[in-house]
Structure 1
Amino acid sequence: MFPFKSIALGLALAAGSCGAAPLVDVLDLPAARSELASRSPLLDLAQAGPRLVAVGQRGHILYSDDQGASWTQASVPVSSDLNAVQFVSASEGWAVGHDGVVLHSRDGGASWEKQLDGRQLGRLMLDFYGAQPEAGQWLEEAKRIEAEGADKPFLDLWFSDAQNGFVVGAFNLIFRTRDGGRTWEPWADRTDNPSAYHLNAIAGHGKQLFIAGEQGLLLRLDDSGERFQALTSPYQGSFFGLSVQPGLVLAHGLRGNAYRSTDEGASWTQVKTGLNSSITASARDTHGQVYLFGLTGQVLASSDNGASFQALELGQPVPVYGALAATDGSLLLVGPRGVSQRPLPTGKQE
């Protein structure tokens, strides 16, 4: 995962391993209201119909109804750092983060309810694998997670519709819902990840669904839709993100590395980015242009379905953790300084 998430994850795991506990559990503490929320660290953003929704540190969730000109803070029941957000319609959306948090919104991101947290994960796994006579290592893993408590983060999510979705995270943490998050099913035993590498990103299009993670881990959901199978990886460093579109899977990560597949992950070609810093986000606009974003503020654009990229000059570079191509032809960026907006050159919007 990229540096901000790595630092936050490291602190969370260290606190758990030494037995330290916060005075007030962040899972029981609603996110504090702050006039500076839109300028505090934010990790991801998504489109909810015409609305924009951004998530970040300390449970901050913001929404904008004027394409990012102004932001309103949402009502959130936890203060855990939030890593990713997705909406499947103008009203229905989910967000995931540290402490095993899964949040759900029914009103376009204005308010949220908690569907899952790290205090439940071990018990869910114990109940699930305990009912299977040959669960073996998965039952032992469930016991370990139960004993360690709520210190495992979810790092990304993907929903195909308002009922079906996955959440993924550290140490091969993966759960599936088939009923909009009312119940969750562990999928550790259905994921070809024997070293329990972190699952940093999940993305899909249609029936194609992929996961990317540590040490070059690349997985694809099989044709039955019931197992994530390992792909032959072209790279042994960590991947931080995925862009999946018809005819294209683009995986990006450490030290400016990006790889492209046009055959559903069967083979990969390295994409020349010219970057030395990690690529932390990607986006695609309504015209099919693909964008990659460097941690230190570089922006690259491709008009040939990710085969080649050119650098864009969009003003003062800002560190980027998440990005979205807005419908007004601009790029919305989030990072350690909150939200920023970058108008695209006219020629890049065609």
Structure 2
Amino acid sequence: MARPMSSPGRARCKWAARTAALALLAVSSGIVPRPAPAALIRDNLYDVKALDAREAWAVGNFGAIYHTADGGKTWQARESGTKSPLFGVDFAGPRDGWVVGKSALILHTADAGATWTRQTNPISAQKPLFKVRALDARTAWAVGDWGAVAVTHDGGETWEDRSLPDDVVLYDVSFPDARHGFVAGEYGTLLATEDGGATWAKRPVGTEKTLFGVSFTSPTQGWVVGIDGLVLRTRDGGATWDVQRGAVEAGSIEELGFLEALKNPGLYAVQVAGRYGVVIGDTGMVLTTADGGETWTRRELPGKQQLVWMRGVSLAAGPEGFVVGGSGFTARVEQDRIVLPAAGEAAAAP
């Protein structure tokens, strides 16, 4: 399964469910406890959208939609009208948002999440949609399994099927502006558009490893993350890539060694905003940057949270934002610090 531990995706890549039942070194004081307890959430959470430093939306299993307006101290459940897993969420401002999920499900709100309405789209119900990006209140892109790509230019009144002819899982999409967009997926797939999605072209990234996350801060500056702790950076719109972490060559656990493989769990999401950025993944893996993505520092979660898997990260202005993951895991991002719920404990300084 390309996304392990109850996450969306199909079995495509050689993947080891890596346990973290080893004593990991505490490396940073960038993990701090949050003073107020968050409301208990048990659902696996797959994505989050930060509107600002205090307000965010999260989605997950069993049609779960949660909203916070107090910086994540409390989360309120909102009725979605479905019990299907929800994998992606995005908003174009405070009122207009979309959620996507299993069976090509697309939900839309135009009243700041008070109500969610299912939108009809031409994507086959056999294809789950994993990510949605809202460019504005009228334009949004969604991507998913079996090369699924859909776009709306009228607020979701109609959706156009722009799916690929290839049988490839597409996991993430990033639009730094209305004309430039990037889609990441398995087999090292990276698609790019320079005309607002009218045409897409493949960009070589130098690996066939699955890419789960993509974030571009401009048409030229971007990052992708993926299997085996891979972090790649481009400065020229994807024409060339630098390896910042991991290796582009595929290797088995037998070849790498268990301890080495444990240090490089799958990375599922990346977000960069100005000087600050966050990468998250399996077995408590968090990387942060405070120099615009030039370098990344590992922040190890304390105690049992070293076992948690994370799937969504979103940064707003500040930059501050939120991280979500398995079994209702939530945390705040404050620049290059990860602020845990009250039950967490601060990691020791190096």
Instruction: Report the TM range for the smaller structure's normalisation.
Output: 0.7 to 0.9
**Shift, 1:301, TM fit:** 1.4
**Shift, 1:116, TM fit:** 2.7
Say if 1:177 and 1:7 are closer, same or farther in 2 by CA, change over 3 A: closer
Gaps of 5+ in 1: 11-35, 123-149
Any idea what SS the aligned residue of 1:216 has?
coil
* Contact kept? 2:51, 2:316, Cα under 8 Å: no
Identity of matched residues, %: 28
Say if 1:108 and 1:216 are closer, same or farther in 2 by CA, change over 3 A: same
Equivalent-residue separation in structure 2 for 1:38 and 1:100 (angstroms): 25
Check if 1:324 corresponds to 2:322.
no
Letter in 2 for 1:296: T
Letter in 2 for 1:184: W
Equivalent-residue separation in structure 2 for 1:345 and 1:222 (angstroms): 31
Which range is displaced more, 219-228 or 96-105? 219-228
**Correspondent of 1:162 among 108, 133, 137:** 137
Query: Could you say which residue in structure 1 is the equivalent of 2:107?
Result: 103
**Correspondent of 1:280 among 258, 268, 271:** 268
Check if 1:336 corresponds to 2:336.
no
Query: Could you say which residue in structure 2 is the equivalent of 1:16?
Result: none
* Contact kept? 2:276, 2:335, Cα under 8 Å: no
Check if 1:290 corresponds to 2:294.
no
Query: Could you say which residue in structure 2 is the equivalent of 1:201?
Result: 172
Say if 1:110 and 1:278 are closer, same or farther in 2 by CA, change over 3 A: same
Any idea what SS the aligned residue of 2:80 has?
coil
Any idea what SS the aligned residue of 1:121 has?
coil
Query: Could you say which residue in structure 2 is the equivalent of 1:71?
Result: 75
**Correspondent of 2:204 among 208, 229, 232:** 232
Equivalent-residue separation in structure 1 for 2:211 and 2:222 (angstroms): 13
Say if 1:345 and 1:162 are closer, same or farther in 2 by CA, change over 3 A: closer
Q: How many residues align?
A: 291
Check if 1:82 corresponds to 2:83.
no
Deviation digits for residues 224-257 of structure 1, max 9, x if unmatched? 6411111122110100011110242101100001
Letter in 1 for 2:71: Q
Deviation digits for residues 46-89 of structure 1, max 9, x if unmatched? 02355211000010101011111111111212111000100110
Check if 1:271 corresponds to 2:244.
yes
Any idea what SS the aligned residue of 1:99 has?
helix
Any idea what SS the aligned residue of 1:45 has?
strand
* Contact kept? 1:219, 1:229, Cα under 8 Å: yes
Letter in 2 for 1:320: M
Equivalent-residue separation in structure 1 for 2:88 and 2:146 (angstroms): 17
Equivalent-residue separation in structure 2 for 1:326 and 1:166 (angstroms): 20
How well do the aligned residues superpose, as a CA RMSD in angstroms? 2.8
**Shift, 1:263, TM fit:** 0.5
**Shift, 1:333, TM fit:** 2.2
Say if 1:197 and 1:289 are closer, same or farther in 2 by CA, change over 3 A: same
Any idea what SS the aligned residue of 1:236 has?
coil
Say if 1:338 and 1:326 are closer, same or farther in 2 by CA, change over 3 A: farther
Equivalent-residue separation in structure 1 for 2:290 and 2:117 (angstroms): 40
Higher relative contact order (CA 8 A, sep 6+): 2
* Contact kept? 1:332, 1:339, Cα under 8 Å: no
Higher helix proportion: 1
Deviation digits for residues 189-239 of structure 1, max 9, x if unmatched? xx5xx5321111111101220001110001001336411111122110100
Equivalent-residue separation in structure 2 for 1:232 and 1:328 (angstroms): 33
Say if 1:225 and 1:175 are closer, same or farther in 2 by CA, change over 3 A: closer
Matches within 5 A, 1:1-350: 1-4=2-5, 38-48=41-51, 50-116=54-120, 120-122=122-124, 150-188=125-163, 191=164, 194-206=165-177, 207-223=179-195, 225-246=197-218, 247-272=220-245, 275-285=263-273, 288-316=275-303, 317=306, 318-325=308-315, 332-342=322-332
Say if 1:257 and 1:75 are closer, same or farther in 2 by CA, change over 3 A: same
